[in-house]
A and B are shown apart, each in its own frame.
Chain A
Amino acid sequence: MLLEVNDLHVSYGAIRALKGIFCQVGEGEIVALIGANGAGKTTTLRTISGLIRPQSGTITYKGQPITKMPPHQIVSLGICQVPEGRRVFTRMTVLENLEMGAYTRKDKANVKADIEKVFQRFPRLAERKSQLAGTLSGGEQQMLAMGRALMSRPTVLLMDEPSMGLAPMLVQEIFSIIKEINQAGTTILLVEQNAHMALSIANRAYVLETGEIVLSGPARDLANNPEVQKAYLGE
């Protein structure tokens, strides 16, 4: 397995956010973590990318433990996060945001070519490349956040709530882009409240409830699971 999370425990003070999470992501997969608010989805992602220190448990990437690594090292290993709420650098231009995405890279010549690739994938960003990121619409900011993460040439892309605050039409568009990114060879771990969309593109999924994995399996099976349908798909 490319990425393996074993028995991960995380607490915020007295509050136990994760109570022993196990999950695995294989090369080339799209894996979704779904669950309600406060289930621990974002915490799981942030712990993987090193932004949060776990109490116990291990995270291994390509067989190498990364549990105690600082975030900047984890990025240079090829794990990059598209954070919740986009978090673009509002007073930098679109182009500067993309350049920041390539921060850990040394191969300057290829960075230019990769920026062009991002602009091909997101033509709307190309039109706005000298505009300040804070003036973009929510959907454009999400595209920028994704483009920025792609600039690090990640092996694994961690995506936190890409559909948050977006119009349904845009959600469709964003998810088809996620699928394209995956088909181009990037492994994706996706955290999403919109379980319906997440299950429609994922290979496998895990269902989180109050810090624990309660269900897991192929996305298609989960989408047909009556419990999941009742709790998360509103059917």
Chain B
Amino acid sequence: MDSIFSMFLNDYYIQVLTMLGIYLIGALGLNLITGVTGQLSFGHAAFLSIGAYTSAILSLKLHTPFGLAILAGGLMAGLWGVLLGYPTLRLTGDYLGIATLGFGEIVRVVFLNMTITGGALGLAGIPRNTTLTVVLLVVILSVWAMVRLENSRFGRSLVAIREDEIAAEAMGVNITTAKITAFAIGTFLAGISGGLYAHLIQYLNPSDFGFLKSFEFLTFIVLGGLGSIPGVILGTSVLTLAPEFLRFISDYRMLVYGLLMVFMMIVRPRGLLGGVQLRRLFAKKNVQQTGTSASGGAN
């Protein structure tokens, strides 16, 4: 299938699209945590790095098969998601944000000082196994899983937690378990994303997974519309492709990128596709869509 892609696209576009897919997987994970469940995470890149390093080390040292290494990376990230989630998910809003920010920095510094990760020199020579086909398959699988999840009883309970934690608890949702499960699935996807990244770029350095990267993922889902799967796809696509297509204005491209974001937040504060859900798009047209007016009364 990769040969089919290379018939239509040159290597540059294949690389860009592969990266887009990888980011999309990570963004879907963060969307579950922050967009659907409403738990602010500033440390998403740390989970990508856990997945990336785990799978890269397995590939390099143990010659683990590619698929298995990626899966192990995802599981490791998910495990750390649970370990971090258990004590911190009792916190809400800004406090959780700061705790995850701190965790992100710790992970970065730990990787910087471990021998097995190559420290500041980084980890090089990772086999290039990630292809557009593989990434596309994982993206399709992730989107399908997220749509299924969103419409499940569990997914509904996550939205209820976002809308009103106390009311959700009063309705019988075990909010601690639900939040930790959401965190585990979201960080698992981050780990998968990180593993695929490692096997595409072939080189890992802890500085690639700092706060800025976490923040980038947050902008993907906020721009697209928190909690909306089509929004995540659109937001991630726009923000990953924009810097590429803005290359012609070279030095000014990050400036334009920044302006674009400020403008977007003024025009559509709930994101490009804020409040849009696949299910509702295809549902009967008598479903009323309400704009920003409905977002009040979070109490």
Contact = CB atoms under 8 A, between A and B. Distances in A.
Contacts of A70: 174
A99 B156 contact: yes
B166 A89 contact: no
Interface stretch (B55-63, B89-97, B108-116, B291-299): B291-299
A122 to B, nearest CB: 18
A126 interface: no
A175 interface: no
B164 A51 contact: no
B296 A134 contact: yes
Given A89-B163, A91-B163, A135 B171 contact: no
Contact of B297 (A99, A100, A101, A134): A134
Contacts of B299: 85, 87
Contacts of B169: 51, 71-72
A85 B294 CA distance: 17
B277 to A, nearest CB: 10
Interface of A: 49, 51, 70-72, 75-76, 80-81, 83, 85, 87-93, 96, 99-101, 103-104, 130-132, 134-135, 148, 152
28 contacts: A72-B173, A72-B174, A75-B170, A75-B171, A75-B172, A80-B171, A81-B170, A87-B299, A89-B160, A89-B168, A90-B163, A90-B297, A91-B159, A92-B159, A92-B163, A99-B156, A100-B157, A100-B171, A101-B171, A103-B156, A103-B157, A103-B160, A130-B287, A130-B288, A132-B288, A134-B294, A134-B295, A135-B293
A91 B294 contact: yes
Contacts, number: 92
A103 B170 contact: no
A93 B287 contact: yes
B166 A51 contact: yes
A101 B164 CA distance: 13
B171 A132 contact: no
A166 to B, nearest CB: 15
A197 B78 CA distance: 53
B290 interface: yes
B275 interface: yes
B186 to A, nearest CB: 20
B167 interface: yes
Interface residues of B, number: 30
A100 B298 CA distance: 17
B167 A103 contact: no
B148 interface: no
Interface in B126-162: 153, 156-157, 159-160
A136 B38 CA distance: 23
Contacts of B172: 71-72, 75-76, 80, 103-104, 152
B285 to A, nearest CB: 10
B286 interface: yes
A88 to B, nearest CB: 7
Nearest to A49: B170
A75 B296 CA distance: 28
A169 to B, nearest CB: 22
Nearest to A87: B167
A132 B173 contact: no
Contacts of A88: 164, 167
A103 B163 CA distance: 15
B171 A152 contact: yes
A14 B186 CA distance: 39
A85 B166 CA distance: 11
A135 B286 contact: no
B62 to A, nearest CB: 42
Nearest to B286: A130
Nearest to B287: A130
B167 to A, nearest CB: 4
B298 A90 contact: yes
Contacts of A75: 170-172
B242 to A, nearest CB: 29
Nearest to A85: B299
A152 B166 CA distance: 16
Given A72-B172, A92-B160, 17 more contacts: A51-B166, A72-B174, A83-B166, A83-B167, A85-B299, A87-B166, A88-B167, A89-B168, A90-B298, A91-B163, A91-B294, A101-B171, A103-B171, A104-B172, A134-B290, A135-B293, A152-B171
